[in-house]
Structure 1
Amino acid sequence: MTTPPARSPEPPENTPADPARTMRIGHAERDEVIEVLREAAGEGRLTTEELTERIELTAAAKFYVDLDAIVADLPVPPPSDRIRPTQRPPRAAPGASDAPGHHPFDPLVLRASWDNAKRKGRWTPPPFIRLEAVGATAEVNFLEATTDLPEIDVEVSGGMGNAVVVVPEDWGVNIDRLSSSWGTVRSKVAADPQPGKPLVRVHGSMGMGAFTARHAGCFERKRLESSGNG
């Protein structure tokens, strides 16, 4: 039996509400998605069983974010695009960077459609990151990151792909606000960081794939040790 989508969790308290998670949809929005699904089935992108299942999920959907997950692996824009701000959002604070990732409505996006999308190595992460695991793996790796941020907000928008967050041993990852109504969610990382270290706060919906939060694997530890960063 198909499980209806659960309401997506609210964003962290210090993050402005995303209208896709708070604005309810109606019959018109559901009918539009059902038509998209039927066209996708006619093009051979969905099997008959998948079409039936997704139509049932669409009928049970309540918010735009629920519809986004249903069509995330199809070559169509997310239904929530119509209600998201189209203009460039204001800076989060005076002097903040214009680069993506410095405002909750303009995050740094890693979109994995048919190829994996990864950000790793030596880099300075912004405070807002979005992982879109459409059909492949979207991974954000903080093992060699340099930051003085106390928290990093990671939004997950899952389709059929996987989302991965990799952090150092003394960081924390909180997944309390990440929905797993269809996919799976697993964390091997403590929810609270060591004093003075960053917390990665994850929220959103995993869709039909898998989310994993972990520390460095064997090969990653060896590489870090050989480079003097272990």
Structure 2
Amino acid sequence: MTSPSEDASPPIGDGDRDTAVRRLQDAYTQGVISHEELDDRLQQALTATVHSELASALASLPEEHPGTTSTIAAAGGRIRRRGAWRVPRVLKVASAYGTVRLDLSRAIVEHPVVDIELRLGTGGARITVPRDAVVDVEGLQTGWKDLRYRAPRHARPGGPKIRISGTMGFGRLRIRHAWR
């Protein structure tokens, strides 16, 4: 006979819960689950206290491929990505001070939804997205300066959705769409 402590799943952290919510939102965006099923599973994930409860909320979802999350970090200096670079599903960018330049205009974007998570202290950031991209900045918190982004007048369908979240300290984030 096993004791209750041997059967119990370990408690979950905020990162586990956030990942589960993101996976559920992605599944909905990709048409894997319905709106009603998303609501039910989100409720289950947000109230889960142990891994087994969280796993049941994610049951039957496609597995995430390893290597779909990348982190770029620098204490200071410049972070720059441009040209034909492969954009991961989740890109985490952290910099204590310095500038960040991400140019996705010629990048290889294989995912319909790309999450860019910024953790920036001092210094500005500039992100150039593909011309047909849809940009979502609802999850971004700016400290000292406001975000500069103007959505295109004539959006073209079929582009990737770029979700930008995280925190900006003492710098400005500029987002623009590529010309071509």
- Give the TM-score normalised by the residue count of structure 2: 0.59
CA distance in 2, matches of 1:149, 1:159: 28
More strand by share: 2
Distance 1:201 1:151 in 2: 7
Provide the secondary structure at the position in 2 that maps to 1:194. Answer: coil
Name the counterpart of 2:22: 15
Q: Are residue 175 (structure 1) and residue 148 (structure 2) matched?
A: no
Q: Distance in 1 between matches of 2:154 and 2:116?
A: 16
1:96 matched to 2:103? The reply is no
Alignment partner for residue 204 of structure 1, among 163, 166, 170?
Answer: 166
One-letter identity of the residue aligned with 2:124: N
Q: Specify the alignment match of 1:157 in structure 2.
A: 119
Instruction: Quote the residue 2:77 is aligned against.
Output: 115
Structure 1-normalised TM-score? 0.47
Gaps of 5+ in 1: 1-10, 17-91, 222-229
- Residue 134 of structure 1 aligns to a residue whose secondary structure is strand
Q: Which runs of 4+ in 1 moved over 4 A?
A: 92-95, 190-193
Shift of 1:93: 5.5
Q: Distance in 2 between matches of 1:213 and 1:146?
A: 18
Cα deviation, residue 111, structure 1: 2.4
Deviations 1:19-71 (A, max 9, x none): xxxxxxxxxxxxxxxxxxxxxxxxxxxxxxxxxxxxxxxxxxxxxxxxxxxxx
Distance change (3 Å), C-alpha of 1:129 and 1:95: closer
RMSD: 2.9
Equivalent residue for 2:109?
Answer: 147
Question: Percent same amino acid among aligned pairs?
Answer: 25
Deviation by residue 1:163-220 (Cα, 9 ceiling, x = unmatched): 221112211211111111333311134599632210110111111111111123xxxx
Helix, strand or coil at the partner of 1:184 = coil
Structure 2 residue runs of 5 or longer lacking an equivalent are 1-17, 24-60
**1:14 CA displacement:** 3.7
Letter of the aligned partner of 1:133 in structure 2? Answer: S
